[in-house]
Amino acid sequence: MSVQKFFGADGVSLERVVINGPQGASAEVYLYGATITSWKCDGKERLFVSKQAKLDGSKPVRGGIPLVFPQFGPGDLPQHGFARTRRWTLQYAEEHGQGVVVNLQLKDNEDTRASKWPYKFDLLYTIDLTATTLSTIIKYENVDSQPFSFTSLMHTYLRVPDIASTTVTGLKDVVYVDKIKGGGDLVEERDAVTVNANEDRVYVDVPGIVKVNYGNESIAIRRFNFKDIVLWNPWAEKAAEMSDFADDEYPQMICVEAGTVASKISLNPGQTISCGQILTFEGSASHI
C-alpha cells in the first residue's frame, strides 16, 4: 500500500495523488478541486470520467467525484460553487489496518472572501480506501466571526456497463423534485428506479442506503449527515450540448450524488460538521 504524488508538465495544473490500496484497489485525486478521478476495485474502474474532460485546471473535471460547496446549482456564485475549481492542499497520507487514508484541506482566501459568499472556512477532506470501499468525508468548520449557511454535495459519476440495464434501489416512497419537468413535489413509486431519458432529480430526506445495480454487481452508497440524493444523466440531447462530454458516453454513466441541497447546513462561529459517503462494491447486485 502506498501514496504517490505526480505533477503535470507545468508542475502544478495536473498535480495529483495516486493511492494504491490492498488487493489491487486504487484511487486517484487531483489537487485541483480535490476531484477523485479514479476508483478501481475488483479489477475494474468504478468511476466515470469523460474522455473529453479537461484535466488542466481550465474548468471543473467532467466526471469522478467533484465537490460541490458552498452552493448547489446556479445562484450568486458560479455553478456548484468554488470548491471544485480551487487547488486543495495535501495534508498527509498514511496506511491503517485495512487500507490507506489521505487528507486534503481547503481554506478561504482573498478570492473566496471577495465573492458573494465571503466567509472564513476550513474544509478537511478525508479519503479512505480499502479493498472494497471508498470513503469520502468532509469536515466543515466555521472559522468566521458570524454564522453562515451552505449547501454541499459529492457529485459522484459512477461507471456502468449500460444505463439501460442499470437500476437504483432505496428510493421508493421518497419525495423528489423533478428539475426537468419544472419542479413540484412527487413521490417515487418504483422499487427499482431506471433511467431512459434526461433525468435530473433531487430526492429529499432519503432514509437509508441507496444502491446502484448492474449485472451481478452493485455499489452501495451510505451517507453521513447528508440528507439528499441527486440522480442525473444528461442523455443524448444534453450530452450534445456539453463540450467536455462526448455525445456517445451517457449510456456508460449515472450520477447518484450524496448531499444536502434541498435545505441548508448552518454553522455558528467555531462549529463543525462532518458529512460524506461510503461507496461499497458488492459482488452481486441486490434487487428488491
The per-residue pLDDT for 182 is 83
Buried b (16+ CB within 10 A) or exposed e, 117-133: bebbbebbbbbbbbebb
The per-residue pLDDT for 283 is 84
Q: Does 110 participate in catalysis according to the annotation? A: no
pLDDT in tens, the chain (288 residues): 667 777 766 655 578 999 999 999 999 999 999 999 999 999 999 999 999 999 888 899 999 999 999 999 999 999 999 999 999 999 999 998 889 999 999 999 999 999 999 999 999 999 999 999 999 999 999 999 999 999 999 999 999 999 999 999 999 999 999 999 887 789 999 999 999 999 999 999 999 999 999 999 999 999 999 999 999 999 999 999 999 999 999 999 999 999 999 999 999 999 999 999 999 999 854 443
Spatial strand order in the sheet of 89-95? 89-95, 100-107, 121-129, 133-142, 272-282, 217-224, 210-214, 167-169, 192-193
Kindly list the distances between the CA atom of residue 74 and the CA atoms of 134, 145, 235, in Å, as whole numbers in the listed order: 28, 27, 21
Q: Does residue 78 have a cis peptide bond before it, meaning omega lies within 30 degrees of 0? A: no
H-run or E-run covering 113: helix 110-113
The per-residue pLDDT for 247 is 96
Cell triple for 226:
447528508
Cell triple for 43:
479489477
Q: Which domains does the chain have, with CATH numbers?
A: 2-282 (2.70.98.10)
Please report the sign of the dihedral spanned by the C-alpha atoms of residue 258, residue 16, residue 10, residue 245.
Answer: negative
84 is in an annotated binding site: yes
CB atoms within 10 A of CB 143: 15
Single out the catalytic residue among 15, 155, 199, 249: 155
Q: Does 80 participate in catalysis according to the annotation? A: no
What CA–CA distance (Å, rounded) separates 65 from 49? 9
